[in-house]
Structure 1
């Protein structure tokens, strides 16, 4: 018996942003069609006093080539100060016919790439076709990944970035500009970054809102991707109430998304706020943007389905190219 191991660098080489976005369209469609099965709520071990938590994210893909996936992921907020991704762990891929362990992938890289790829799909579906200004809040792993993934979704004429650390923001913008071959503008505040923006991404570890309704231009599309637990939020209740809200999974958002749950607790929104999942929009079961002046929001908590399909695509390419390491066990 052997298992293929894909490192952080391997995952990045095997899942470039555009190809991962195509894979995430497949994942969202399969989930909406009932071909992917996953728990509505992920099991989480969050011991009192521990520096981080451990979450388990299992999923199953039915079909001619069935597969199981399991991401065991830790969330350590203090890692940012150490220069590490706050998300660490491993994705295990199993053959759905025999149960044989097929591959082990770095969870940090899978989470980084697939999250930004899903946001790219959401932006393509929901943002106005004439969107020209992108604002990203956050300079961590997800903030940088979202600049890369969204740069090619629309013909953005301006890309702005804001975060708490001004020096880091300037450094990250310079690095991204060199990588993308186009200007990436550092901003001194979130309000400055989002003023007049057509697409906004919040990719932070904030516990309290960093984005407010009065800062958003008519017709703006917002992607809220940083908060994936019930006790933290990036958006104020007024923003939630003003937007047509779409999500990765209605059940998961109702169970875990602090942006939604805290606004609901305050009475800013009602339980029927969520319009549809992205998969329902992709399959035609639900409509997307309803007008050029409407505010739209993609509320994301992250799904095991994405990890499973991203792993399948990365491993299939690795097997064709002979990438990674094959280890007997």
Structure 2
């Protein structure tokens, strides 16, 4: 078995590659080529949680499980909020062939999924990006959005002005050609933005339907359990709504669950899974004025496809530590 560290994963999985890998995985999912039990969440003290995400895929032919800890207070002490391990198995004999850091893998594949959706749904000329949140996902979402659209202006919003300003200072060094601004007013930041990404840990909405204008594409990413809702039901209702995986959406997206429960809309309001759009079996954006919403929950197929890629690259390049289990 090969063991791959966070540093190994960072070197093996660049954002541009991850976007293409995740795109292929989403097509496989929507074509029925994956087995994806819903994420299981277990409390492990206070606000901390352990998530278990098993899955299997036919292309690439692999299966495995991600064990990821969500510790919301970690950033204050210099750690990522997501810690954990991905274990990959080979399908012929069921042997564990790789274990790898799940924190960086999760961060990259999540942003890559938003990149896939943005490439498929946002207007081709989308150049003004608003990012709500200043954590690790904000960093990777900036990279993903810049990889798929001609971004020229980035508006960063955080709960604390100093954190948003610090984020912008670091981002300017990595993206010197872009114009940045920092603030705490979400409504002002999204006014006129072409792409909006919400990447917060908020349990209540930070983005409202009344604030989003025609033609905007929204990636709602941060809320992955029903008790958290970054966006309100009005935004979900007024948008063309796209899912990564319908079963996850209907079980874990709090604002969608609430909208269906109250009769605001039904399950048929979901236009498509993003894999269906990519495969050409369902429409994506139908006009320049349409608001498109990609409601990201994150699914094991994204982790599996990226993990399999890292494993094969590590084998080819002699990266990682061999840890025989027999």
- What range is the shorter-chain TM-score in? over 0.9
Matches of 1:319 and 1:42 in 2, distance apart?
Answer: 29
Matches of 2:180 and 2:317 in 1, distance apart?
Answer: 34
Matches of 2:180 and 2:4 in 1, distance apart?
Answer: 31
CA deviation after TM superposition for structure 1 residue 309, in Å = 0.3
The answer to whether the 8 Å contact 1:80/1:86 transfers is: yes
CA deviation after TM superposition for structure 1 residue 283, in Å = 0.9
Instruction: State yes or no: 1:103 paired with 2:101.
Output: no
Matches of 1:107 and 1:282 in 2, distance apart?
Answer: 26
Aligned pair partner of 2:21 in 23, 35, 58: 23
Instruction: State yes or no: 1:295 paired with 2:295.
Output: no
Q: Report what 1:92 is aligned to.
A: 87
| Aligned CA-pair RMSD | 1.4
State which drifts further: 93-102 or 173-182.
Answer: 173-182
Cα deviations by residue, 1:155-179 (Å, 9 ceiling, x for unpaired):
1121111111111111111111101
Aligned positions of 1:65-214 closer than 5 A: 66-182=61-177, 183-214=179-210
Matches of 2:269 and 2:279 in 1, distance apart?
Answer: 21
Instruction: State yes or no: 1:59 paired with 2:55.
Output: yes
State which drifts further: 118-127 or 49-58.
Answer: 49-58
CA deviation after TM superposition for structure 1 residue 266, in Å = 4.3
Q: Mark the runs of 5 or more structure 2 residues left unpaired by the alignment.
A: none
The answer to whether the 8 Å contact 1:229/1:257 transfers is: yes
Instruction: State yes or no: 1:323 paired with 2:319.
Output: yes
Matches of 1:261 and 1:83 in 2, distance apart?
Answer: 34
How many aligned positions are there?
324
The answer to whether the 8 Å contact 2:36/2:300 transfers is: yes
The answer to whether the 8 Å contact 1:27/1:305 transfers is: yes
CA deviation after TM superposition for structure 1 residue 267, in Å = 4.0
The answer to whether the 8 Å contact 1:223/1:297 transfers is: yes
CA deviation after TM superposition for structure 1 residue 152, in Å = 2.1
Matches of 2:99 and 2:81 in 1, distance apart?
Answer: 19
Cα deviations by residue, 1:54-112 (Å, 9 ceiling, x for unpaired):
1211111225x621121011112222332322211100010011111111111101100
Matches of 1:75 and 1:192 in 2, distance apart?
Answer: 30
The answer to whether the 8 Å contact 1:131/1:198 transfers is: yes
Aligned pair partner of 1:33 in 31, 34, 37: 31
Q: Mark the runs of 5 or more structure 1 residues left unpaired by the alignment.
A: none
The answer to whether the 8 Å contact 2:160/2:184 transfers is: no
Cα deviations by residue, 1:19-53 (Å, 9 ceiling, x for unpaired):
000100110011112222111x2222236x54412
Matches of 1:132 and 1:141 in 2, distance apart?
Answer: 22
Q: Report what 1:6 is aligned to.
A: 4
Aligned positions of 1:42-57 closer than 5 A: 42-46=39-43, 50-57=46-53
Q: 1:187 to 1:50 in 2, by over 3 A?
A: closer
CA deviation after TM superposition for structure 1 residue 221, in Å = 0.5
Partner SS for 1:152: helix
Partner SS for 1:192: helix
Q: Report what 1:312 is aligned to.
A: 308
Partner SS for 1:328: coil
Cα deviations by residue, 1:264-309 (Å, 9 ceiling, x for unpaired):
3444333322111001111111100011111110001000000000
The answer to whether the 8 Å contact 2:5/2:320 transfers is: yes
TM, length-normalised to structure 1? 0.95
